[in-house]
Amino acid sequence: MEAIYTAIAHASGGGRDGHVRSEDDRLDFDTRPPKEMGGSGEGTNPEQLFAAGYSACFLGAVHAAGRELKLDTKDAAVSSSVSIGSNGEGGFGLAVELDVYVPNVSPEEARQVADKAHTICPYSNATRGNIEVTVNIVE
């Protein structure tokens, strides 16, 4: 792959209970484990950051797919749920559920857009075969 852009971020402290910042300082905040994992829940966590990134990236892919398929995606939206749990091998794994909303097309066309977006999105391409990703069409 020939890189077009490279994002750089730094983590310090206790990891999930620490601090992250991007090299350009646009992101600069503390991280905290969620209450469900024994933390305070008072900061963001890696799963929230992954969900935000995947949602934004997938929405961009939805718009690209819409242009390619000549379908109106201007009012589309994507919500991402990222779950963490035991992988059964002593480590942890992730699962993602993407809810894709494309209001200006039929449900069948929305499915076409979402399926095409799933082949375009860099997050989808990076996770394919590594974690479970479910893509839902919502109305």
What is the residue-averaged pLDDT of the chain? 97
- Looking at residue 73, its pLDDT comes to 98
End-to-end CA distance of the chain: give it in Å, rounded.
36
Residue count (the chain): 139
| pLDDT over 90 at 100, yes or no | yes
pTM over 0.75: yes
Query: So what's the pLDDT on residue 128?
Result: 96
Q: What is the DSSP string of 4-65?
A: S----EEEEEETTEEEEEETTSSSEEEB---GGGTS---SB-HHHHHHHHHHHHHHHHHHHH
Confidence of residue 15 (pLDDT cuts 50, 70, 90): confident
pLDDT at residue 120 is higher than 90: yes
Chain centre distance of CA 78: 9
Measured at the alpha carbon of residue 87, what is the angle toward residues 84 and 90, in degrees to the nearest 5?
115
What domains sit in the chain, N to C, each tagged with a CATH number? 1-44 (2.20.25.10), 46-138 (3.30.300.20)
* Percent of the chain whose predicted confidence (pLDDT) is above 90: 96
**What does the pLDDT look like over 16-45, one tens digit per residue?**
999 999 999 999 999 999 999 999 989 999
